[in-house]
Structure 1
Amino acid sequence: MADDILKEAKDAFTEAADAADHNRATAIDDIRFARLNEQWPPNILSQRERDGRPSLTINKLPAFIRQVVNDARMNKPSIKVHPVDSGADPETAEVINGLIRNIEYTSSADVAYDTGVECAVTGGFGYWRVGLDYAFDDTFDMDIMIKRVINPFSIYGDPYSTEADSSDWNTAFVVDRLTKAQFKAQYGNAATVDWDDDAWSTVAEPWRSENEVMVAEWWKRDEVDRTIILFQDIRDGSFQVYSKDQIEKDEDFAAVQQFLEHKQERVTKAIKVTQYIMTGAEVLEKNDWAGRYIPIVPVYGDEFDVQGKRFFRSLIHNAKDAQRTFNYWRSAATELVALAPRVPFIGPKGAFDSDIERWQTANTRSHAFLEYDGQQPPQRQPLDTGSAAGALQEALNASDDMKAIVGMYDASLGARSNETSGRAILARQREGDISTFHFTDNLARAIRHTGRILIDLIPHVYSAERIIRVIGEDGSEDRKQINAPYQVQDPKTGQPMQQPVMGPDGQPMQDEGGNPLMKPIMALHDLTTGKYDLTVSTGPSFTTQREEAASQMTEMIRAFPAAAPIIGPELAKNLDWPGADKIAEKLDQMTSGQVPPQVQQQIEEGKQKLQQLSEENQKLKQDQSDSMAKIEADKQIAAAKIAAEKEIALAKLASEQELERYKAELNAAAVASRPVIQTQRFPEQ
């Protein structure tokens, strides 16, 4: 069995290597030409060196490469996960989005993406890998990692692949060459065939050279039959699907099996991926892969198909002849100017005898004066620069040819050109971006396939109860409980959230004291259930978007100052200086009518003091009211007493007056009833 696998693997490698030879040879030549300045044919270069002629290499191609690669770095595609079926939910999709961003952050995926796209632009193809590793040295939890492939020539893909992102790869090889000491140190325990064994004598190139051996990872993707069973949960009537393999491996299935009713089953097709570590003599390891895709992601450059044969070309492949022409004519112009004979002086015979030593060095040294004999001074012949000017013009033509071939002109490279208005410059830059956009679009396809691999792996790798770190789009970090219920917390206060307990009548229930019964709000992010899909958006990075948004918001506030209260919080969020987030939060609270917690606490304390003062004032008022009532009662009593005394005095006076009147009347009556006695007065004697 092992021999059959070894033979199958070696045949598959030979087929993959033969199919990729033409692309690999072209890529090596393009990389050496653009990056190592190997731009002169060896025979011509050696001939010119023997003749002492200049062979200049003025490499203009890296500027084009950097422009496309750095544009891709600034506009890096991002993965966005969406729920698909009823078993998925938007909040869990956001958790998966944050988990993928955390995977990219912890494994430096941006370096892998940048290396892949640079290889694609320079050589026509690049790669990165998806792998697994322990989260920490002292744990058994696994994490997904994205690692770069610095040597794209170590990968051999499926020669029968037709998909643009190679998601249909059924075979792939990752090769590495090791010395005898390296091989024994790394695979000595796994190897059963000794280095000096006779079995190695039949192993030929490229599997073994005199002092090196090639170790290969063979990734094999097979279609297998899988039996799935539909169960109905008798407790709630829901339907669940399990595979026979899952039932055999799941230890918790026996606990719930009594509640599941078998409905139907069928045989379906599944994908099994296996990794073999091998040499040309034996298979060293066999590992089953959890996902359904080979975890190697290619990113291609300029791709086209000719009669079923795929070709991958770099950005600068067709510009190499223009670059060679440019080098030749710049070398020729230098040669014509630098190696041209010195222009002689012409004069009558004997004119140079007076100072012959200085005249002989007039073209190589700078003299303060030159003496001559005769009436007519010697004349210098004019310099013929016609040939050099023609060579420089041809060099300029070659430079323009390079721009036209690549599709990037001076405006795209940041140089001055014949455009004068900003609109014209932007239009030319846009044309340059469009002519090279297929490189950025191929990067987006590769990242989309990476997201597909991650979504496929996450349910297998993150299947246990654990707390994971998720990263937001703005770089903020959070911790999320997965695969287990947890109590939801209020994002503003951080306190556990609760909800009323509803009775059979649909109304909130109350306890004996009349208080509403509350229960905690629970949530569950189960990454093992549900189906999710993804999209990839290409655009400026979050930092670039934030800077542009801040600039445009500032301009809008200047044009429309009344919008400042509305735009202010969002503007502060997009500013990149310390404390901007806190200021944004305070502005947001001001515009929304909310009060910061510190101010709210001060207000509550003030309210309590005010309530206390109000109660004290009320008590004082009550005491004052009691005093005032007593005073008023005393006043009323005094007034009543005075009034009573007055009445008594008046009554007494009236009584006395009535008594006097009565006495007067009695006296008058007495006088009237008394008899009249007449007296007679006698005269005095």
Structure 2
Amino acid sequence: MPRETAEEREIVREAQKRFKACQDWEAEARDRWNADQKFAEGDSDNQYQWDEQQVQSRVNDPNGPRPCLTINKVRQHNLQILNDARQNKAGIEIRPVGDGATYDSAKIFEGIVRHIEYRSNATEAYEAASRHQIYGGWGYWRILTEYIDPTSFDQDIKIQRVADPLSVYLDPDIKDFDGSDARFGFVFQDVPTDLFKTEHPQWKDVVGSRALCDEGNSWDTKDHVRICEYYRRREIADTLYALDDGTSLLRSDIPPDLREQFDAEKETRVRAERPTKRFEVQWFKIAGSRIVDRNVWPGQFVPLVRVIGEETVIDGVLDRKGHTRAMKDAQRMYNFWTSAAAEFGALQGKSPFMAPARAIEGYEQYWNNANRENYSVLPWNDVAEDGTPISSPQRAQPPVQSSAYLTGMQTASNELMLVSGQYQAEMGAPSNERSGVAIQQRQRQGDNATYHYIDHLAQAIRFTGRIMIDLIPKVYDTERVVKIMAESGDQSDVQVAPDADKPVQKMVAGRPASDEDLKRAQADPDLRDKVATIFNPNVGRYAVEADVGPAFATRRQEAFNAMSQILQQNQELAKIAGDILFKNADFPGADELVERIKRTIPPAILGQGTPPAEEQLQQQVQQLHTALGQAMQRIQEQHDALQQKNDRAEDGHALDSYRAETDRLKVVGATDPDAMRMVFRKLLLEMMQPGLPGDADQDAGTEQAPQMPPMPPQGMPAPQEMPQPGMGPA
């Protein structure tokens, strides 16, 4: 067995002192819890609703055993609240409150919490605690972390049922009703001795040693070892920095190797700082008086959640009670009157026949067995020996129940309803109310009388949500894929990325996607499986609410009934909303019917196609494009026709000018050959210019290659045949 250190001895002494304080504070409340729990579970075998001395006196009565009947009406009154809580479950709702938190990230948090509840079978944990709360006054469940499998380092969160609330102790100085401010807590468990020695072979010698109990007595038995799990919450001084980017940072969150660099940059990065405190929860496993295991709990709360029925402190004495306590005397009265009525009837004999002795003389074997055998004929002597008629035997008046017992039972039943606030209409029995509204009002009156039990359960579930928000970023601290669950029960995958910049990022085929891209990808069968959600639980701050309402299955059935009535009145709605109707149906084949109806609904209504307004705008734009194209085509045709007309006009005008010039040259050449030289020179220079006359419509700065002059008309000499300037005629 390992050597005990001074620190371990101090921790054990602290645990013993605190446990003694818990025992002293809750001792009387625990005795009453046990008595109330047994009374609520009373039946004819265990006789928990009868005082033990009364049972012994009735059983050993000198005149014969007397009945001790148990007609447990308390159980039904309690189950009415418990089953109402089952049908109106409190759901954890998470809201974003700042530091980058978004609505989508809050919904992912909800989905993770909902999947943790589903995987942990948290419904059983909640119902067990609620049952103990209603029957005895309080109940518990606890939060644990466990490895996903033996070959993984990844952990998951689990909500575990506490079968025996008396095995849990919490800080007696708690101020918050949900126990969120508890500084310490204990959980005791009896472990088989052989299992303990297998798990802790080095600690097998602690079996049977002094434990955390009154007067140092050992709790260990021959077959079991009592283990104590001790949680303690400690405040640790820290410093909070307000950074220039609007975020805040605790000094303890800075890695040790980066603190020196942070201090060097603090003047430029830090806007303000102040001292603060953070919480650390330590966990110890104590066997006997030795610490056999220890660890640091990742969260900041003691992970023990309590559900209180009613709690009072009178004259410094704690008292907790549930729904049973107020009904105990009325139930005892009912059992007494029922037993007395049965006893009164049992003391009365069976209804005998009244007959003269001579009337049955000779037929005694028939009449002696008349109350045991079913004879078809009972003979009797109708005439005496002297001829005197004898009247037939007559049965005596049957036993009559005393009205006092019936009145007593009725009074006890009424008093049970008075003290519980639950009346016949709420219990499902016929009552004076006849209209539906009157029955609902009476049921509402009963709900109001017991609603605090459901509300206290919702407060405990809300505290569970706070623990989850605190734990998820610390447990899911590596990249992994986790399951989330929608309220309808549908599951999907989310990739946890603790280093992501945003709380939520939608990806399609590995690339960031906008809402429109995501919508198109979800509608595309080829891309639907490539849609991924990246979630960073470290970004943002969130708040928790617990919404109490009907279970999803109940609301689903109500939605189906309501939509059925609406579609009966307006059958045209079935063409656009029929898939929603059958989506809320539970009969086999409803899912296939939904898919078939979807294929008949226009994509725009399903949100998978182009919205009607956008589609109409696109049609208008297409019509404008078509009209513009047609107009451009007509303009081009008109331009081509005009160009051809202009070309023909210019060609005719140039030909006429050329002919006129030729005729003039002929006349000039015939009269003055020297003058023709100047004309030819001018003509050659004009032909060698960049543009020809008549090209004035071209851009002034555009350079063109020299063009060959057009062939002269017939009868005009070619240029090379013309006389050269400065040369006389041949």
Q: Structure 1 length as normaliser, TM-score?
A: 0.75
CA distance in 2, matches of 1:199, 1:254: 47
- 1:221 and 2:233 equivalent? yes
Shift of 1:60: 2.1
Equivalent position to 2:591, from 551, 575, 578: 578
Equivalent position to 1:312, from 303, 315, 320: 320
Q: CA 1:425 to 1:292, structure 2 compared with 1: closer, same or farther past 3 Å?
A: same
1:522-671 alignment runs, 5 A limit: 525-565=535-575, 567-576=577-586, 577-583=590-596, 585-586=598-599, 589=602, 592=605
- Show the counterpart of 1:430: 444
CA distance in 1, matches of 2:215, 2:344: 57
SS of corresponding position for 1:291: coil
- 1:470 and 2:470 equivalent? no
CA distance in 2, matches of 1:522, 1:200: 52
Q: CA 1:422 to 1:464, structure 2 compared with 1: closer, same or farther past 3 Å?
A: same
Q: CA 1:337 to 1:6, structure 2 compared with 1: closer, same or farther past 3 Å?
A: same
- Show the counterpart of 1:383: 398
State the AA in 1 paired with 2:248: V
1:439-454 alignment runs, 5 A limit: 439-454=453-468
Question: Are the equivalent residues in 1 in contact too, given 2:28–2:318 (CA < 8 A)?
Answer: no
Question: Are the equivalent residues in 1 in contact too, given 2:184–2:232 (CA < 8 A)?
Answer: yes
- 1:338 and 2:338 equivalent? no
- 1:159 and 2:172 equivalent? yes
- Show the counterpart of 2:335: 327
Question: Are the equivalent residues in 2 in contact too, given 1:573–1:584 (CA < 8 A)?
Answer: no
CA distance in 2, matches of 1:496, 1:269: 39
Shift of 1:446: 0.5
Shift of 1:187: 3.1
CA distance in 2, matches of 1:495, 1:341: 92
Question: Are the equivalent residues in 2 in contact too, given 1:489–1:497 (CA < 8 A)?
Answer: yes
Question: Are the equivalent residues in 1 in contact too, given 2:188–2:227 (CA < 8 A)?
Answer: yes
Question: Are the equivalent residues in 1 in contact too, given 2:283–2:296 (CA < 8 A)?
Answer: yes
Shift of 1:589: 4.0
Tell me the C-alpha RMSD between the 2 structures. Answer: 3.4
CA shift digits 1:14-38 (9 cap, x unpaired): 1112211222212212222222422
Q: Percent identity?
A: 31
Question: Are the equivalent residues in 2 in contact too, given 1:407–1:435 (CA < 8 A)?
Answer: yes
- 1:497 and 2:513 equivalent? yes
1:176-191 alignment runs, 5 A limit: 176-178=189-191, 180-189=193-202, 191=203
SS of corresponding position for 1:175: strand
Question: Are the equivalent residues in 2 in contact too, given 1:319–1:406 (CA < 8 A)?
Answer: yes
Q: CA 1:395 to 1:150, structure 2 compared with 1: closer, same or farther past 3 Å?
A: same
State the AA in 2 paired with 1:574: N
Q: Structure 2 length as normaliser, TM-score?
A: 0.71
Q: CA 1:302 to 1:348, structure 2 compared with 1: closer, same or farther past 3 Å?
A: same
Shift of 1:71: 1.3
Shift of 1:268: 0.7
- Show the counterpart of 2:406: 392
State the AA in 2 paired with 1:381: A
Question: Are the equivalent residues in 2 in contact too, given 1:229–1:262 (CA < 8 A)?
Answer: no
SS of corresponding position for 1:412: helix
State the AA in 1 paired with 2:493: R
- Show the counterpart of 1:78: 91
- Show the counterpart of 1:33: 39
- 1:55 and 2:68 equivalent? yes
CA distance in 1, matches of 2:81, 2:455: 12
- 1:18 and 2:29 equivalent? no
CA shift digits 1:126-169 (9 cap, x unpaired): 11111111223332111111111111111112212232211121
CA distance in 1, matches of 2:448, 2:238: 46
CA distance in 1, matches of 2:470, 2:206: 39
CA shift digits 1:353-392 (9 cap, x unpaired): 33234333444444430414642334443234142x4323
Structure 1 range deviating more: 552-561 or 285-294: 552-561
- Show the counterpart of 1:643: none
Shift of 1:65: 2.2
- 1:99 and 2:112 equivalent? yes
SS of corresponding position for 1:358: helix
- Show the counterpart of 1:419: 433
Q: CA 1:70 to 1:253, structure 2 compared with 1: closer, same or farther past 3 Å?
A: farther
CA distance in 2, matches of 1:155, 1:127: 8
CA distance in 1, matches of 2:214, 2:458: 44
CA distance in 1, matches of 2:380, 2:415: 52
Question: Are the equivalent residues in 2 in contact too, given 1:553–1:567 (CA < 8 A)?
Answer: no
Q: CA 1:347 to 1:230, structure 2 compared with 1: closer, same or farther past 3 Å?
A: closer
Which residues of structure 1 form unaligned runs of 5+? 233-237, 501-519, 598-685
Q: CA 1:228 to 1:136, structure 2 compared with 1: closer, same or farther past 3 Å?
A: same
CA distance in 2, matches of 1:432, 1:202: 43
CA distance in 2, matches of 1:386, 1:93: 66
State the AA in 2 paired with 1:205: N
Shift of 1:416: 2.3
Shift of 1:585: 4.1
- 1:369 and 2:378 equivalent? yes
CA distance in 2, matches of 1:584, 1:170: 58
Q: CA 1:8 to 1:337, structure 2 compared with 1: closer, same or farther past 3 Å?
A: same
Shift of 1:442: 0.8
Shift of 1:440: 0.8
Structure 1 range deviating more: 377-386 or 392-401: 377-386
Shift of 1:63: 1.9
Shift of 1:554: 1.3
CA distance in 1, matches of 2:314, 2:214: 37
Shift of 1:293: 0.8
- Show the counterpart of 1:291: 299
CA distance in 2, matches of 1:499, 1:337: 79
SS of corresponding position for 2:477: coil
SS of corresponding position for 1:278: strand
Shift of 1:253: 8.0
CA distance in 2, matches of 1:495, 1:541: 38
CA distance in 1, matches of 2:75, 2:373: 40
Q: CA 1:185 to 1:312, structure 2 compared with 1: closer, same or farther past 3 Å?
A: same
